[in-house]
Amino acid sequence: MEKEYDYIIAGAGCAGLSLLMRMNGDPFFADKKILVVDAAGKNQNDRTWCFWEKEPDIFEPIVHHQWKLLDFFSDSFSGELQIAPYTYKMIEGLAFYNYVKKETAQNAHIHWLNETVLGLAHTSLPGIVLPGIVLKDRSIYASQVFNSILFEPIQPNPNQFYFKQHFKGWVIKTSQPCFDPYKATFMDFRVSQQHGTTFIYVLPTAADTALIEYTLFTEELLEQSEYEFALKQYISEYLQIDSYTIEHEEYGVIPMTNTLLPKADRGVVYIGIAGGQAKASSGYAFKFIQKRTAAIIRSLKTGSPVSAKSDFNASKGLLYDSVLLHVLHHRKMQGADIFSQIFKHNKASDVLAFLDNESTLFTDLKIMSSVPTCIFLPAALKEIGQLL
């Protein structure tokens, strides 16, 4: 079996298309044959990505809205978060898909295939092992495969944790101006915490339009009716809005786990959720995907192997995430109280850097000192022991 492509991108989600965009915009890849494979046509507005950044990146042209001020609410602390030098941004799924398709449409070396990838494969040629993808009636091979598909559910070991960030969001339009489009609600923990860590965020894009999302960090999902009831209740009681129409709705589940997922193996590079780019303590993935895909491009251009190891900041971040998941799993402290203490006692920009795995050790220590040592130190020692 011969190589048909230089690169195969399995999965045309955020990670696969982010990598494709970076390849498409770099002259190094101008003559490289690239295949993108996904079962979905990517023609629906199926999700929204939110993230914070200091400087614009490659998807700045399709940022739907952005905010420099954020609100935080809980029963023990509420306040306005000054996030400079960061800006909080929103990108809609359909705009993302259409933008990548449009930008890559004139590249004759990029091929799209609307099929289900059943798995990964390898074939041996003289002196080389080629990775590939398995389709219904054939396999296709390339010099490298970039895979963002989870073929099997994540299976944590007994000493690892697996929470789910699950959410239901409505874009609502009101009959009267009800929102400040220059300020978003980052987290509102004043809602019931009966299921576990639960909050609402409100992202206004106009005076009469906002995305309102009911979000939970728990180990079990809810019935759809429970998400809808919570959204209706919040809109009525906290936003005090009675007249509105639902323009769009979305639902999603993101893994939050300290399970070590593979980074690379015999010519296959794992990206996106499959590569562990969802932050285990928050579920945020967009910015981590951008970092990973940019690093992959640098490696390919220099001819160096794509790293299968985590750097110091990523390893440090995984330890911190494991400690938080440990505390939540063993119900030592409610998530609402943890985030409240952190945001109450620290600069918001420092907290965002911490959540991005970009904070200094001094900042890390300051943030960790915001939560009870008697709870977090034993959890930290336990998690460090798991790594040794």
> Strand 69-73 to strand 183-188: parallel, antiparallel, or no bridges (unpaired)?
parallel
**pLDDT at 1 (0 to 100):** 60
Please state, in angstroms and rounded to a whole number, the distance separating the CA atoms of residues 152 and 145: 18
Burial of 201 per CB tally in 10 Å (0-12, 13-18, 19+): buried
pLDDT digits 0-9 by tens, 240-292? 999 999 999 999 999 999 998 889 999 999 999 999 999 999 999 999 999 99
Residue 244: strand pairing partners = 174
Structure tokens at 123: 């074939």
307, pLDDT greater than 90: no
- Give how far Cα 124 sits from Cα of 200, 271, 312, Å: 51, 24, 35
Selected residue with higher pLDDT from 206 and 25: 206
pLDDT mean across residues, the chain: 95
Residues 6+ apart with CB under 8 A from 265: 308
| Residue 28 confidence class, pLDDT cut points 50, 70, 90 | very high
Phi, psi torsion values for 39, nearest 5 degrees: -75, -25
What does the pLDDT look like over 95-110, one tens digit per residue? Answer: 999 999 999 999 999 9
Confidence band for 385, pLDDT divided at 50, 70 and 90? confident
Burial category of 305 from C-beta neighbours within 10 Å (exposed 0-12, middle 13-18, buried 19 and up) = exposed
Which one, of 219, 226, 229, 217, lies nearest residue 189 by Cα? 217
pLDDT at 388 > cutoff 70: no
Interatomic CA distance for residues 92 and 86, integer angstroms: 20
In sequence order, the 6+-apart residues with CB closer than 8 A to the CB of 252 are 47, 166, 167
Helix (H, G, I), strand (E, B) or coil at 360: coil
Query: How far does CA 184 lie from the centroid of its chain?
Result: 19
| Residue 22 near residue 293 (C-beta atoms within 8 A) | yes
pLDDT above 80 (res 342): yes
SS3 81: strand
Is the model's pLDDT at 114 over the cut of 90? yes
Whether the predicted pLDDT of 295 surpasses 80: yes
pLDDT at 63 over 70: yes
Residues 91 and 286: beta-carbon distance below 8 Å: yes
pLDDT tens digits, 170-224: 999 999 999 999 999 999 999 999 999 999 999 999 999 999 999 999 999 999 9
The whole-number pLDDT of residue 306 equals 84
Q: What is the structure's pLDDT at 309?
A: 76
Nearest to 384 by CA among 314, 331, 319, 321: 319
162 contacts 219 by C-beta, under 8 angstroms: yes
Residue burial 326-354, b: 16+ Cβ < 10 Å; e: rest: bbbeeeebbbbbbbbbbbeebbbbbbbbb
